[in-house]
Amino acid sequence: MNFQLQNLSIGYDHHMVKRDINISAESGQLICLIGKNGCGKSTLIRTLSGYLPMLSGNILINGKNMISMSSRQKATQISIVLTESSHSDWLTVDDVVSMGRIPYSNWTGNLQNNDKIIIENAIKDANIGDLRYRHIDSLSDGEKERVFIAKAIAQDTPIILLDEPISHLDIPNRIETLHLLQKLSHQSNKIIIVSIHEIKLALRYADEIWMIKNDELINGIPEDLVINGTMENFFEPLSFDTLNGDYILVNKNNIGFVNVKGEESINLHWTKLALNRIGFIINKDADCEIYVNLDNWILKRFGKEKTITSIGDLIKELRQHR
């Protein structure tokens, strides 16, 4: 399966948001679409799904122009999961998931045995068997998201688009949702494109990242984008921490310099993060030295040495005697 955008321009109400997008995706990829609010992520997702008309250019699915497809044909190629739900609250989970088979049902709308098998598998893959007969309005945001993903699975399209599906979820549900999408793209050989704000999760789960910045759509595998400096310059003036895979606002309230030593460990890693957070700059030439051990911290300054047993106590000591 090849999904290709050729000279695509997108927008709404005659307002152009992005022009001349040229990019493609292949089967078996989870693609995370990132960018600032208002950069055009949702507009792109909705244009690719057909919810919004393209302003110019082509969207090709295995070489066939999407604009020449009927609504039913599109529905067998692309499914979409939107943040807002248009489903009636009185519908059950089973009702919503079953709606994924509408593009394939006969004129009576009756489900065939094959449809029922696909629905069963979708409910199993999304791990919502215990929710099956509950009404949509009784579900949490995380549960609803899994239901809508199950519906997309039941629709059985080679391409699935999701517009910020984890924006209202707690951390465990965010991770579970992205893990499900990654598994689905790899095991079912689908193209899954999901717009998200969580850079660290995109770096962890995406096979490829599409980055919208100004008039550009930049793409690459996560590790290459970090190594070649693309991530560093993406959300200026924020600074990208290449070791932690996250953006930070550099603390301009410098309160001192420290030299931090020790073998690589979780203690050393989190000690440096804590010192940066409160405004210390780590410098190997600093007179104040901290030796990080597995069970304590040794602070050397002013010709004195003190053993400390937690990062919290270390910070208190540094602040008290600046």
Here the CATH number for the domain that contains residue 210 is: 3.40.50.300
CB 181 within 8 A of CB 193: no
- Establish if 221 belongs to a structural domain: yes
Are both 232 and 263 inside the same structural domain? no
Are both 178 and 47 inside the same structural domain? yes
Q: Which residue has the higher pLDDT, 250 or 1?
A: 1
Nearest to 222 by CA among 3, 31, 21: 31
Give the pLDDT confidence of 151-164 residue by residue, as tens digits. Answer: 999 999 999 999 99
Phi-psi region of 295 (alpha: psi -120 to 50; beta: other; left: phi over 0): alpha
180, 205, 236 - which closes a domain: 236
35: which 2 tokens?
Answer: 């960018």
| pLDDT value, residue 17 | 85
| pLDDT value, residue 215 | 78
Question: How many residues in the chain?
Answer: 322
Give the pLDDT confidence of 296-316 residue by residue, as tens digits. Answer: 999 998 889 999 999 999 999
207, 236, 265 - which closes a domain: 236
- Establish if 250 belongs to a structural domain: no
Are both 83 and 230 inside the same structural domain? yes
- Establish if 68 belongs to a structural domain: yes
Are both 228 and 264 inside the same structural domain? no
Within 10 angstroms of residue 317's Cβ, the number of other Cβ atoms is 15
- Establish if 144 belongs to a structural domain: yes
Give the pLDDT confidence of 8-63 residue by residue, as tens digits. Answer: 999 987 788 888 999 999 999 999 999 988 889 999 999 999 989 999 999 999 99
236, 268, 289 - which closes a domain: 236
Number of domains in the chain: 2
Are both 226 and 288 inside the same structural domain? no
Are both 171 and 306 inside the same structural domain? no
Are both 55 and 174 inside the same structural domain? yes
Instruction: Please tell me the distance from the alpha carbon of residue 229 to that of residue 316, in angstroms, as a whole number.
Output: 36
Q: Is the per-residue pLDDT at 107 higher than 60?
A: no
| pLDDT value, residue 213 | 85
Are both 138 and 200 inside the same structural domain? yes
Q: How far apart are the first and last CA of the chain?
A: 62
Q: How confident is the model at residue 259 (pLDDT cuts 50, 70, 90)?
A: very high
Are both 291 and 230 inside the same structural domain? no
Reported as type and span, the H/E element at residue 24 is strand 15-26
State the burial class of residue 150 (Cβ atoms within 10 Å of its Cβ: 0-12, 13-18, 19+): buried
Task: For the full predicted model, state whether its pTM sits above 0.95.
Answer: no
Helices 311-320 and 266-278, axial angle in degrees (round to 10): 40
- Establish if 27 belongs to a structural domain: yes
Are both 29 and 75 inside the same structural domain? yes
| pLDDT value, residue 271 | 94
| pLDDT value, residue 85 | 61
The residue written with tokens 């309005």 in the block is 137
The residue written with tokens 């152009």 in the block is 16
Instruction: Please tell me the distance from the alpha carbon of residue 78 to that of residue 82, in angstroms, as a whole number.
Output: 13
Give percent of the chain with pLDDT exceeding 70: 95
| pLDDT value, residue 251 | 61
- Establish if 225 belongs to a structural domain: yes
Helices 141-155 and 171-187, axial angle in degrees (round to 10): 10
CB 190 within 8 A of CB 27: yes
Mean pLDDT over the full length of the chain? 90
Q: How confident is the model at residue 106 (pLDDT cuts 50, 70, 90)?
A: low
Are both 77 and 198 inside the same structural domain? yes
Is the backbone peptide bond immediately before 237 cis, with ω within 30 degrees of 0?
A: yes
Reported as type and span, the H/E element at residue 275 is helix 266-278
- Establish if 245 belongs to a structural domain: no
Q: Is the per-residue pLDDT at 87 higher than 70?
A: no
135: helix, strand or coil = strand
Average pLDDT over residues 85-93: 77
- Establish if 247 belongs to a structural domain: no
Are both 196 and 145 inside the same structural domain? yes
Give percent of the chain with pLDDT exceeding 90: 64
Q: Which residues span the domain enclosing 307?
A: 256-320
Q: How far is CA 244 from each of CA 127, 152, 214, 239, 263, rounded to the nearest angstrom?
A: 31, 33, 25, 12, 18
**CATH code where residue 289 lies:** 3.40.50.800
